[in-house]
Amino acid sequence: MTLSSKDLSYMRSTIEELLPDTCHIMSNSGTADGMGGYTDSWGTATASVACRLDTQNGNYKDANGGIISYQKLVFTLPQATAITSGNRIVYNATTYNVSSVNVGSWLACKRAEVELV
């Protein structure tokens, strides 16, 4: 079964209603330092994006058979949000580096894994 564009559009708008908060997507435009390098200069690429921050916990076995716990922070964003692993997210005055973003035109939303700066 294939989803129609109407069905996918409905799913995306329904998900956006479930995003209770807002965040800002930041981008880096390095500024030349005059000595061949650059200084990070973060600015707002997109302001007030609907979002939800979730924590995912779990365990996995390492190569020696030991159990290792992990915790991931994941933002859910509207599917049309322009975001890459080079961006940052500012949410409730806290800044996060984006580690990865799921991709695919069929997705009903975007999920960005983040790490605290």
Q: Which of 26, 18, 8, 6 minimizes the C-alpha distance to 77?
A: 18
Average pLDDT, the chain: 90
pTM of the model: 0.83
pLDDT over 70 (residue 110): yes
The residue among 95 and 14 whose pLDDT is bigger is 95
- For the chain, what are the domain ranges? 5-31+39-116
Class of domain 5-31+39-116: mainly beta
CA distances to 37, 81, 104 from 20, rounded to whole Å, are: 40, 16, 24
